Structure formats: C-alpha cells, structure tokens
A and B are shown apart, each in its own frame.
Chain A
C-alpha cells in the first residue's frame, strides 16, 4: 500500500496549490466607508456565482452530472440512438424526441423524489388526510432512504476527518444490523423504549466491533485501512449469509430461505407522521446523530484531537496526541455511528435481516460523505439529494422504463465533479473563490470553518 507518509502525512504537500487567503472583509471602519463596502460586497455577492465557492461547485456538479448521464441515456436507449442516427435527415426530430424523452425520464425522477404537482393540486382542492399523505408520500420515501445514508455518511466522516479512510460502511452496517436484529427479536417482554435503546446499543456495539478490527490493525501493524475495510465488507456480507443459514437467526419454518427473524413489535420504530407516510422514528435518530457529530467535531476536545491528527501527523505529535489512539478511537466511534444506521434499517424499515443487507447504503454513503465535504450539514443535504435520487430512480424505472441503475451513474458523476473543483472551474471558467475550502477535510481541517 502506499507509503504511510504519502497517504496520511498531510502537513506540507497539500499547501502548495492552495489559493491565497481572501482579502479581509469590511473592517470596523467608520461611517460612509462601511456603507460603500457593504454596497461593494452586495455586488460581490453576485460575483460569488462565478467563483469556486463550494455551493456553486456543487450546483454545477449536479448540472454536469445530469448532462453526462443524459448522454449515457441517449446512447443506451434504442429509439434515441435511431433518432440520432438520422440526425442529418431529420435534425428536428432527433432533438425533439430526445428532449421529450429526457423530460419524461427526469420528470418521473422528480415526481418520485419530491412529489407530483397534480397530486398536490388534488390535495389542495380536496384536503383530506389521505390526499395529503399521497401528496407527501414521495418526500416521505426520500426521507426514509436518506436517513440511513446520513447516519452512515456522518459515521464515515468522523473517520475521514481523523485521517482514516474508512471504506467499511457496509461491514459496520451489517454487524450493527445483526446486533439490532438479535436484540429486536429476542427480548419480547421488554417495554418499548428500553427495548429500542437496547437494540441501538447492540447496533452501535456491532458497528464498533467491525470498525475496531481495521483500527487496531492500522494502529499496531500499519496495515492499509483502505484495503482492510473493503475486505471487511466482503467478509461481513459472507458472514451474514452464514448467520442466516444457521437456525438461530433464520426465520422459523422457512427451510433454507435465508431471511432473518422478524423483530417483535416492542422493538420497532413507529411511523411519526401518521400511518400514511412511511417516515419512521429513524429520522429522530438521524437528527440526533447530526447533532452528535457536529458537537463531536466542532466543540469537543476528542474531536479536535482527531482532526489535528487527521490534518497533520507532525502537528499531532508535537501536541502529544497519540496516533494509535486516534486511529482506534476514530474507527470505533465511526463504526458505532455507522452501526446505528444498520439498527435504523432493521427496526424501522426491513424488520429482519436478509442477504445483501446494507450493500447499497455502505458504498453510497462514502460518496455522500465526499459530496457533503464531511461537514454535518453538508452531509445531511447530500444525503437528502442522494436519497431523492434513490427513490426517484424507482419511479423513473416504473414510468419510463429506464433502469434504476442510472441513478448510481448520476450519483457517481456528481461526486466526481464535486471532488475535482478544478475540473468544474475549468469547464465553467470559474475564478478561485477567496477562501474556498478545499473539498478534502483532512487536508483542510486545520482551517476549520475559516
């Protein structure tokens, strides 16, 4: 694996191409000067649109991702390929057909992710609760698929901010889910709250165990955590199949059917916006996790130490921070938080283990953490977007016959553009923003929220 110095020693080499710091904002000067500055900065507010401000880069990345995936779409749908084959004889037809097709596909994506205007209108004209539920159903679905994403991605970003590449989201979700499921179908007599808390504790413990293995190996042997965590994903997936083929976890009387036992009602997360909307109490868990990670990273001593170690090994050494402790602690915490996502899925959505559990969330969450720049709020927004793509993709497949998998292409393209701001800057001729934070937290963590 790459030399440890190369992968993690971030002290010197990341600085070279960093843009010059912004000129100081309007100072505390008296009177008219301040007013003029304010007017100038209001004008400058428009100028921000042409800089590599993270929000600008993000919007343009979304746009570019959709454009490139449209190209893929055009190439992969036979009728569009035929239309473009005759572009010299019938150019209008090619364009109109393409736009009609793209419109219907992305329209379905939007309808499935956010909502159908027609259904909203119907709900306004006939405001019954069933109609409102139908109108908000797509948004509810989006939230349901965003909740595990945001929890997992925030868990991963704890590790990323500490300079540890945790790619093992899937393994930690699986072990978390195994813990939650075990508690969930076992202690039938417990009342609701203690049972759910116990299940989440088991989920965190499972995730932490899965995270500790790469953390300890990294700390004591220097094993590349990238490879170890990816291998852990495959091992955990096989381990899950193994568990489900045994009699303890498998649902009773199903023969060889690899499906886990169902959690008892006292351990399920109920729906919080009425029976018509699928949003469950996992949303509350996600909000708590956002708060926890924000406090951990921005207000706590432990998080500060993690980030120092992630930003610069030598600074950490000078400050007396033990690198091994950081690796183990960051991986354990990261794994525990990711494990909660497994718990939320088990207790709130699937209610039982099944083969292939967590594979999509585990990998998608890595991209979400990258897009969200490892910041709690950014990650939450990115998770909403990616969750929306997940749910919208299903509607798109249903309505216009485009495979659901197209969304994973869009998701990968977006993150590719987001992590290469220089690329977006080159395409759209953007200037360097004054203090545009680099999208790599572990490199930039030293200049926290500058």
Chain B
C-alpha cells in the first residue's frame, strides 16, 4: 500500500508507516485485509455509479418513497443526481474505511460505510432502471426481502452446521425436500401450518442422513452433500411426475401463507412494507436467525458446538460428546433449511415444480461466507442476494433493455464475486470440510 490522497485527507492525518512495529498482530492483518477489500468494493460500486450516470444522465427518474407499492410521496430528479450522491457517499466511505483501525468500533465503521454505499448503489441502480419512468423503492425492497427468506433460512442452516464442523452443501437438497413435502402434506391436509411443519421434518431428515453419511460412514463432506442433492433431486422429480402430476388438484395445490401486516409499523416509509408486511415465514426466519445467533454466542451448548467445529480433538478430551453435538447440529440445520424449502411452495407459489430451488441453496452457502459464519451477518448477506435474485423480476417490470436471461444470471455472478472477493482465511470453522476422523 502506498500513501494516497485519501490518507492525507483523513482526519487522523497520514499514518506513520515507518513507526509501525514490524510484526503486526493477526487481528491487525485481518482488519487491514478487510479494509482493503471494502475499499475495492466501494471503488467498484462508485465506478459503476459513474457509468450509470454517464449512460442515462439527464433523464428524469421518479422514485416512490411511500410505505407500499402505490401512493406516498415521489422524489423526482435526473439520474445523474442520484448517482452523483452515491459517488460522493462512496468517496466519503473510502476516507472512513482508510482511517478505521482494528478495534471493534473501527470494524463497525468499515461495515457501516460499506453498507451505506451499497444502499446508495441500489438507489442509483433503481434510478437508472426507472429513467423516464417511476419505481417504488418500497415495492422493490419488499420483493427483495421476500426472495431473501429462503436464503436467510438456508444461510442460518449453513452457519449452524458449519460451526459444528460439518460443511453443509446439502442445503439445496434440504430445500427441495422441504418444498416437496410441504406441498404434498399442505395439499392433503389443507393446512399451511402442517405443510410447513412437515417440510421442516423432511429437511431435518435429509440433514440427519447427511450427518449419518459424514459422521458415521465418513464420506467426504462435499461428496456426501453432492450425492444427497442428486438423490433428493431425483426422488422429488420422480415422485412429482409419478404421483403429484396425475392428481395435481388434490396433491400439488397447497394453500399458501398470506402476508401479515404489523399495525403502524407497516406505514413506515420505504421499508415499512418490506419488513413489516411480510409472509409469516419472514418473521419466523428472523426468529430463527436471532435464535441461532444467541444459541451459538451466548449459551453453553453454543460454545460447545463452536469448540467441536474448531478443534474436535480438544473438545472430545474435555468431555464433550462430539458426535452427538454434530448429529444434533446437522439435523437441526437441516430442519431450518427445510423451513426455507417450504417457503418455495406453501410460502409463495403454492405448487411444487421439479428442481424449483434453482441453486439458491448454494447461494445461501455464499451468504454464509459473506457473513463470516455468523447467523445475523449471514442473514444480512442473504438480503443482498435476495435483491440480486429479484432484480430480474424488478427490471423485467421496468422494461430495461437487458436480455432477461442475462438478468437471471445476477445472483450467480454476484455469488462468484462474493466468494472470490470475501474469502478470508482463518475465519471458517477449522474442522469443517473433508472427512471426519475423530
């Protein structure tokens, strides 16, 4: 790193590099790397905003900032204005990031600055997409949050399982099992609740199967996950064609959850509809995310699970039942992902279609990485992926002249960028991956 203009602009003044001790602590180095990556991200977003402004500068865009899809105040302005504000914010964020230190407050500042720029980028992007037209920011957010529900549950599942030392690539399988069983049972019992519960059970069963394969029979974790995905994909595909389709009205048309509006809160501008007028599964997801976070970080069991994931041998020798904890964590993670799977059927469309999860289980794994194996951060990352996966819907409504098949790539491309850009070694649970040998 060389001294830059930003270094000199920063309030703390240029940092005395020569005076720094030769050997930095691990925390310092990790913080420095996180800063570097955050600045790159902010730079790229800023540059993209400049491009967007150059592309559609003087056209006017109207952004609805009411609480819902219709009504509410509308902000109108040329696209360059939205983008320009974003660029300025990006420059300010760069300065903030460069001056942050390795302390907790410093890291929080880096995160906050990055998030602000991300939000500014999203608004700039929406303004560009809505040029000479109107888009409701609240509506777009609501669609994004809806799309993020399964990813949130999937990433929470991934966090729980990987913290216990089992790399859970079978989230996709758990999604499919939850979606299929949820649709089938929901249709036969005419109950969304029973459908959801049986979806949870189905996901838990797949998780249990994964646990048996990797813990008892010591199949390589990635191999076991891939095999389970192909098994569940084949099984649900077969049963759909053989059993559900011939009697679709009775077996594959479950009732669906309707959104529940929390009084008053759903009137909050911009975010009201997105956060407080959602499917009950969204509130469930929030509860699960918070629950897993508390479990892992504030309870004795959670401490043990983390110990098992970091150093099973040491945990074993201190009297922790490693295998039992892993079975419980992986099966519990499966159940959580099963709820995410149920969202696909009883939560939204109401009908099971073969391979309908379209890789979102793997996207959830990327959210786990982006969230540094913490449930709440991973859920926040899932919201970003939710935006990416609903971008095709949104832009499709706005008649943006980009081929829909290119827009459909968005969540996958972003996943690759995230996985390539955010991987920080030393953060993943040390024992996850490979074979279990304890």
Residues of A within 8 A of B (CB): 1-10, 13-14, 16-17, 72, 76-77, 165, 167, 213, 217, 221-224, 226-228, 230-235, 238-239, 241-242, 245, 363, 366-367, 370, 402-406, 408-409, 411-413, 415-416, 419-420, 422-423, 440, 443
Contacts and interface: CB of A to CB of B under 8 A. Distances in A.
Contacts of B235: 72, 409, 412
A367 B230 contact: yes
B237 A422 contact: no
Nearest to B427: A3
B234 A230 contact: no
A245 B239 contact: no
Contacts of B221: 2
A331 to B, nearest CB: 14
29 contacts: A2-B433, A6-B432, A6-B434, A7-B433, A13-B435, A14-B437, A72-B235, A76-B243, A77-B242, A217-B416, A223-B420, A231-B416, A239-B409, A242-B403, A242-B405, A370-B227, A404-B241, A405-B241, A405-B242, A411-B230, A412-B231, A412-B233, A416-B227, A419-B223, A420-B213, A420-B219, A422-B218, A423-B213, A440-B220
B231 to A, nearest CB: 4
B420 A228 contact: yes
B359 A230 contact: yes
B429 interface: yes
Given A245-B405, A408-B233, A76 B416 contact: no
Contacts of B380: none
B359 A224 contact: no
A423 B241 contact: no
Interface string B222-264: 1110111011011101110111000000000000000000000
Contacts of A408: 230, 233-234, 237-238
Nearest to B238: A405
A403 B423 contact: no
Given A224-B419, A406-B238, A420-B217, A235 B409 contact: yes
B327 interface: no
B167 interface: yes
Max chain B CB contacts within 10 Å: which of A6, A16, A402?
A: A6
B413 interface: yes
A68 B362 CA distance: 28
Contacts of B435: 13-14, 440, 443
B21 to A, nearest CB: 27
A26 to B, nearest CB: 33
B158 to A, nearest CB: 10
Contacts of B397: none
Given A238-B408, A242-B405, A416-B213, A217 B238 contact: no
Contacts of B433: 1-3, 6-7
Nearest to A442: B220
B317 interface: no
B434 A2 contact: yes
A211 B169 CA distance: 21
B412 interface: yes
Task: Please list the 7 inter-chain residue pairs (A to B) with the smallest Cβ-Cβ separation, ordered nearest first.
Answer: A2-B433, A408-B234, A6-B433, A405-B238, A412-B231, A7-B433, A223-B420
B429 A3 contact: yes
A77 B405 CA distance: 38
A232 B413 CA distance: 8
B52 interface: no
